């Protein structure tokens, strides 16, 4: 009920407050000649299984088609869900890997968080103001051999868990390109923007009610003309062991989430 | 006991499902190509019932008169009502008419997807640009191959070209108003991502679209009417700045013995063209009395006079983008149309020394693809999951 209320409130906000949640607009490449920041989501082998991995890449490519050429300015902030739209099977999205309760389950539009992670990273590095961002609630403990991933992340859930950001001045243009290496996202600006550096603190582990939680802080060091350290957000994530099974290989039915991909 | 026999019989029966959101020149030749591989069903809600065809001709639905002969096509009253409503809202404005076209295509896409989900038998779903997203998603669920017909210009290139033209011609207000919405851009790109095969009309589109997909050339209906050759020049497309009509006044000054015919349209740019003594409106579909066709749009446009000139052997003077269905060496190309260059090219064309325009041939054509891939389509159809639920008999 609470989720439905939040979703309804956000949808009403879209309809009644176009100044806060504007429709996405398109900007021509000639208006934004200066490269600002770039990020590649690499193709690599995953433990999700080939079907879910294929679905994930299909979803990433399909969502990226909605992002290409989108203009972002202070008057027209970027909103992930206003731009990409709902991830439904009827709109061509497939089942991809989705974390839920410590399991990898197939879900339509699964894997799209890679895109929101990359967009959040781009926004931080291009000195954008973060208007709305939500961190993931789970983090995977990869064991002592694998180094912990310290990266800025952002999760999305339609329509009320959104990623929104806007540049302080000028216009940014988001460009996407699918290549054999992966999905390349880049921001170009109407004026030169010095890239900021982003730091994620070493996770501090606490024990609460028998579960482990990792606490991190995301900070951004400003450009040379304003070299302050700005705290972007604090995250508190439940630590789970790395899932080695998904619905392809797990035969547990009592979880209630099991679906055959 | 399960009762899947009727479903399997139908699966063998229906092979191609064609979404036709509006009457279009690609429809007939595409159907001819698809029939070589098997039966075809067309989803065309704009079709008028046969008794209403004469009435439809009177009230302006001229393009719909052949629809009742399409295989499996059946008119829908709700569609006609929606179309009439949107026409009334648009009130003849060009930008609103384009928005309506996009909306109607999306509406047909929704209805076609519902139809595919209800009767999941096709092994090939053919849908045109902006009417394919949901149909392809529904087709994908039943394991069908998805073929996209690119019958609209590439919106990204179109808008970039319009922006450049608007900067060069600030007085042409039309160039700033005529824009598809950002969601239409996204939809067009998404459909290309979803498609297995992309069908394009000409060489320019072939170079721009779907490089990592299987691509085929969409056939077009040949123009058969032949008229007598003359010394008039036909300007391809309406006399608007986006079609290059801004060059016409200087060209008329450079060529004092030539009359230029323009197609009828709601207005002309520049407005002085309307009163020029050597500008005539060409209301006929044939090329009677035409000595050369001039196609100056910097955008991908493929105007109908270019295709007719191609079939009739009338010389073509034009840019690469607008004459993109023609082999570039067989036309008189003018990428930077200054009056001198244009006048020289037209004099050469009218004197009979211009090369005969030749159609561009893609490496693979639709008919060839359909015949060669028919075995693959059969396999896909056989492996498609059965969507209908089996009902145990008692």
- pLDDT digit string, tens, across residues B207-217: 888 888 999 99
Better-scored residue on pLDDT, B369 or B55: B369
Percent of chain B whose predicted confidence (pLDDT) is above 70: 85
Is-contact B385 B4, C-beta < 8 A?
A: no
> Which residue on chain B is closest to A66 by alpha carbon?
B186
Percent of chain B whose predicted confidence (pLDDT) is above 90: 34
Is-contact B195 B147, C-beta < 8 A?
A: yes
Taking the C-alpha atoms of residue B232 and residue B213, their distance in angstroms, rounded to an integer, is 43
Largest CA distance in chain A: 58
Q: Is A100 on the interface with B (CB under 8 A)?
A: no
Cβ contact B193–A65 (<8 Å): yes
Same fold, B5-219+365-383 and B232-350: yes
pLDDT band at residue A186 under the 50/70/90 scheme: very high
pLDDT band at residue B196 under the 50/70/90 scheme: very high
Is A254 among the domain residues? no
What pLDDT, on the 0 to 100 scale, is given for residue B58? Answer: 63
- The vertex-A79 CA angle with A74 and A81, nearest 5°, equals 165
> Which residue on chain B is closest to A30 by alpha carbon?
B160
For residue B381, pLDDT beyond 70: no
For residue B379, pLDDT beyond 50: no
Q: What is the mean pLDDT of residues B152-168?
A: 87
Is-contact B46 B67, C-beta < 8 A?
A: yes
Q: Per-residue pLDDT tens for A81-109?
A: 999 999 999 999 999 988 877 777 889 99
Is A146 among the domain residues? yes
Is A249 among the domain residues? no
Chain B nearest CA to A10, separation (Å): 20
Residues 77-136 of B with CB under 8 A from A: 113, 133-134, 136
What pLDDT, on the 0 to 100 scale, is given for residue B284? Answer: 82
Burial class (CB in 10 A: 0-12, 13-18, 19+), B293: buried
Is A75 among the domain residues? yes
DSSP output for B230-277: -SEEEEPS-S-GGGTGGGHHHHHHH-TT--EEE---S--SSGGGGG-T
Q: Which of B42-51, B308-317, B354-363, B371-380 has the lowest mean pLDDT?
A: B371-380
pLDDT, averaged across chain A: 89
What pLDDT, on the 0 to 100 scale, is given for residue B383? Answer: 43
pLDDT, averaged across chain B: 83
- The CA distances from residue B361 to A247, B99, B213, B333, in Å, are 49, 33, 18, 19
Beta-carbon contacts of B393 under 8 Å, excluding residues fewer than 6 positions away, are B1, B3
Neighbouring-strand partners of residue A187: A37, A174
Taking the C-alpha atoms of residue B34 and residue B216, their distance in angstroms, rounded to an integer, is 13
Domains in chain B: boundaries: 5-219+365-383, 232-350
Among the partner-chain residues A23, A30, A92, the one whose CB lies closest to the CB of B190 is: A92
Interface test mutation site (partner B, options A28, A67, A70, A76, max chain B beta carbons within 10 A): A28
For residue B86, pLDDT beyond 50: yes
What pLDDT, on the 0 to 100 scale, is given for residue B390? Answer: 30
Domain that holds residue A65: 25-195
For residue B10, pLDDT beyond 70: no
Task: State which CATH number among 3.40.630, 3.40.50, 1.20.1050, 3.90.1720 fits the domain covering B5-219+365-383.
Answer: 3.40.50
Q: Per-residue pLDDT tens for B312-349?
A: 889 999 998 899 889 989 999 998 888 899 999 999 99
What pLDDT, on the 0 to 100 scale, is given for residue A249? Answer: 67
Task: Establish, for the pair of chains A and B, how many residue pairs have beta carbons separated by less than 8 Å.
Answer: 52
Residues in chain A: 261
Looking at the structure, give the CATH architecture of the domain made up of residues B232-350.
Answer: 3-Layer(aba) Sandwich (3.40)
Taking the C-alpha atoms of residue A13 and residue A25, their distance in angstroms, rounded to an integer, is 18
Is-contact A69 A31, C-beta < 8 A?
A: no
B67: phi then psi, degrees, rounded to nearest 5: -65, -30
Contacts of A29 in chain B (CB under 8 A): 160
Contacts of B194 in chain A (CB under 8 A): 62, 92
Q: Per-residue pLDDT tens for A221-257?
A: 877 777 788 999 999 998 887 766 666 667 776 666 6
Interface test mutation site (partner A, options B189, B385, B387, max chain A beta carbons within 10 A): B189
Q: Per-residue pLDDT tens for A188-208?
A: 999 998 889 999 999 899 999
What pLDDT, on the 0 to 100 scale, is given for residue A248? Answer: 66
Domain count, chain A: 1
């Amino acid at each position: 009920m609470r989720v439905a209320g939040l979703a309804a409130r956000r949808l009403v906000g879209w309809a009644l407050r176009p100044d806060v949640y504007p429709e996405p607009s398109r900007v021509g490449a000639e208006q934004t000649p200066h490269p600002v920041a770039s990020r590649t989501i690499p193709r690599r082998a995953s433990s999700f299984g080939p079907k879910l991995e294929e679905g994930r890449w299909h979803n990433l490519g399909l969502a990226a088609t909605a992002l290409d050429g989108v203009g972002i300015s202070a008057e027209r902030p970027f909103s992930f869900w206003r731009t990409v739209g709902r991830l439904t099977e009827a709109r061509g999205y497939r089942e991809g890997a989705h974390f839920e309760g410590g399991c990898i389950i197939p879900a339509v539009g699964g894997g799209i968080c890679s895109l929101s992670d990359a967009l959040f990273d781009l926004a931080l590095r291009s000195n954008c103001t973060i208007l709305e961002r939500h961190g993931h609630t789970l983090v995977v403990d990869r064991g002592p051999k694998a180094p912990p991933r310290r990266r800025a992340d952002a999760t999305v859930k339609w329509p009320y868990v959104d990623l929104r950001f806007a540049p302080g001045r000028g216009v940014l243009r988001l460009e996407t390109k699918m290549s054999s290496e992966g999905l390349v996202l880049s921001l170009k600006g109407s004026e030169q923007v010095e890239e900021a550096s982003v730091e994620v603190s070493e996770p501090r582990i606490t024990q609460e009610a028998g579960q482990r939680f990792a606490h991190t802080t995301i900070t951004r060091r400003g450009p040379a003309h304003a070299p302050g350290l700005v705290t972007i957000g604090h995250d508190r994530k439940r630590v789970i062991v790395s899932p080695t099974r998904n619905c392809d290989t797990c035969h547990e039915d009592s979880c209630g989430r099991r679906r055959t991909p | 006991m399960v009762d899947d026999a009727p479903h399997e019989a139908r699966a063998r029966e229906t092979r191609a499902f064609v979404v036709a959101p509006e009457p279009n020149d690609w429809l007939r030749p595409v159907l001819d190509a698809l029939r070589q591989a098997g039966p075809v069903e067309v989803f065309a809600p704009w079709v008028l019932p046969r008794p209403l065809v004469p009435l439809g001709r009177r009230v302006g639905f001229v393009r719909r008169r052949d629809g009742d002969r399409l295989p499996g096509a059946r008119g829908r009253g709700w569609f006609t009502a929606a179309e009439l409503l949107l026409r009334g809202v648009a009130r003849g404005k060009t930008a609103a008419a384009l928005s309506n076209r996009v909306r109607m295509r999306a509406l047909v896409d929704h209805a076609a997807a519902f139809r595919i989900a209800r009767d999941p038998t096709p092994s090939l779903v053919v849908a045109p640009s902006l009417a394919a997203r949901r149909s392809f998603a529904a087709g994908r669920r039943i394991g069908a191959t998805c073929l996209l017909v690119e019958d609209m210009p590439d919106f990204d290139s179109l808008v970039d070209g319009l922006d450049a033209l608007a900067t060069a011609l600030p007085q042409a207000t039309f160039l700033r108003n005529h824009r598809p919405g950002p969601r239409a851009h996204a939809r067009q790109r998404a459909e290309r991502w979803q498609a297995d095969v992309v069908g394009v009309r000409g060489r320019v589109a072939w170079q721009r679209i779907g490089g990592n997909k299987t691509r085929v050339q969409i056939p077009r209906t040949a123009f058969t009417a032949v008229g007598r050759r003359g010394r008039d020049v036909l300007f391809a497309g309406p006399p608007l700045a986006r079609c290059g009509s801004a060059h016409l006044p200087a060209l008329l000054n450079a060529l004092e013995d030539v009359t230029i015919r323009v197609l009828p349209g709601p207005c002309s740019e520049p407005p002085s063209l309307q009163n020029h003594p050597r500008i005539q409106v060409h209301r006929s579909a044939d090329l009677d009395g035409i000595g050369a066709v001039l196609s100056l749009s910097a955008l991908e446009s493929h105007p109908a006079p270019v295709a007719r000139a191609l079939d009739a052997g009338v010389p073509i003077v034009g840019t690469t983008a607008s004459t993109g269905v023609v082999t570039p060496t067989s036309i008189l190309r003018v990428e930077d149309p200054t009056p001198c260059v244009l006048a020289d090219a037209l004099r050469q064309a009218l004197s009979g020394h211009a090369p005969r325009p030749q159609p561009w041939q893609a490496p693979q054509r639709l008919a060839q693809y359909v015949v060669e891939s028919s075995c693959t389509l059969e396999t896909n159809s056989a492996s498609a999951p059965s969507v209908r639920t089996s009902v145990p008999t008692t």
